[in-house]
Structure 1
Amino acid sequence: MPALSPIESEFASTEEAEAHDAWFRAKVREALDDPRPGIPHDQVMAEMQAIIDGKAKPQA
């Protein structure tokens, strides 16, 4: 298990990097295979902006 330099990778070893890559690829495949309809970009952005605006208001 060779150690990786922080300059090369955020992971401590190649095994750790490969495990993360496999997990990430599985999550992407799961999302691509999801049969539910997508959400329009404008709708998502409006919802996120509402959350941001709600957090920016001083709370009483």
Structure 2
Amino acid sequence: MAKLSPIESEFETTEEAEAYDVWFRAKVEKAMTSTEPGIPHDQVMAMVQEIIEQHRPR
């Protein structure tokens, strides 16, 4: 179990980095092979803006 420097990686060990890589690649593969319709850019941006507004200090 090799320790990683915080300058080199956000993970503490190579095992954590490799596990994340496997998980991330599986998520990307699933998304790329999905047959569900995509969400239009304008709709996504409106959803993100709504979240930003909810968390903006008053």
Whether these two folds match at TM > 0.5 is yes
TM-score, normalization by structure 1: 0.77
Among the aligned pairs, what percent are the same residue?
64
Which consecutive aligned stretches of 4+ in structure 1 deviate over 4 angstroms post-superposition?
none
The match for 1:16 is 16
Kindly state the Cα deviation for residue 56 of structure 1 after the two structures are TM-superposed: 6.1
Kindly state the Cα deviation for residue 18 of structure 1 after the two structures are TM-superposed: 0.5
Residue identity in the other structure for 1:34: S
Q: 1:8 to 1:50 in 2, by over 3 A?
A: closer
Greater CA radius of gyration, 1 or 2?
Answer: 1
Residue identity in the other structure for 1:49: Q
Give the paired residue count.
58
Q: Which runs of 5+ in 2 are unaligned?
A: none
Kindly state the Cα deviation for residue 48 of structure 1 after the two structures are TM-superposed: 2.5
RMSD value, Cα: 2.2
Kindly state the Cα deviation for residue 16 of structure 1 after the two structures are TM-superposed: 0.9
- CA distance in 1 between partners of 2:50 and 2:10 (Å): 33
Q: Which runs of 5+ in 1 are unaligned?
A: none
The match for 1:35 is 35
